[in-house]
Amino acid sequence: MTSLLLCCPLTGLISVFLGFLAHRRIVAADGRLGGRRLALAAIAIGTSGTVIWLFSWDAFGRWYLESIEDRIEATTRAVVNDAASGDLTAAGLAFDGAVVPMPEAFTAFGTAVDARYGSLLGVSVESPRMTGTTMVPRMETRLLFEFERGGPRYGAAAYSLRATMLGQDVLPRPKILWIEIFDPTDGELRLGEPPEVEGELNSAAVEDDPDPQNIEAELEPDQDPTR
């Protein structure tokens, strides 16, 4: 598949180059050589093929990322609601097998979510970035949660993106590595342990928290929130 994707634009460019070269020699021959139409056809086909490939590659990339984001949103919504409802088995299946939290962690997280916010109605992926390696790809992203109570809340999470190759499904199935819900008032809620470098996501999310009360809660007592 990769060789095919790389070969398509290469053959198109070669076709254009050879077509121009042949057309130049035919014109210079002053009628002694034929094939002018074939040379022009090679230029036209190579150019159109390359343009079509570029648009197709861009469309494929957009579809691929959107599909992964849709799966991330569904996985995140399921694990938060499963933990809140006490279905620890289902919640554990959403995590990467190497980093599944203890049942006590799921219970504490789910109880706090249910008490503070109720059900998770929706979640949106914001500012995703790919990390990890080619063999072990990961995606880290900021999340915007829409809960039943308390308004929108920012959070962050990381996911492993191992391909499964189940039937015709070639897209990776995201598995959660860690997940956080930022709450400056009552304290952050976390499942899993993010590395120290992920503090950048945390601070960025608090700065952009859509709830003004949460932003004011982060200010020092002697700071004026209107400045």
62-114 residue pLDDT tens: 888 888 899 999 999 999 999 999 999 999 999 998 899 999 999 999 999 99
- State the pLDDT confidence band at 216, using cuts at 50, 70 and 90: very low
117 and 150 Cβ atoms separated by less than 8 Å:
yes
pLDDT (0 to 100) of residue 224: 46
Alpha helix locations (H) across the chain? 2-28, 36-85, 88-93, 103-116, 199-207, 212-218
Distance, CA of 84 to CA of 91 (rounded, Å): 9
Closest of 24, 58, 38, 68 to residue 175, by C-alpha = 68
Neighbours of 71 (CB within 10 A): 16
CATH of domain 67-218: 3.10.450
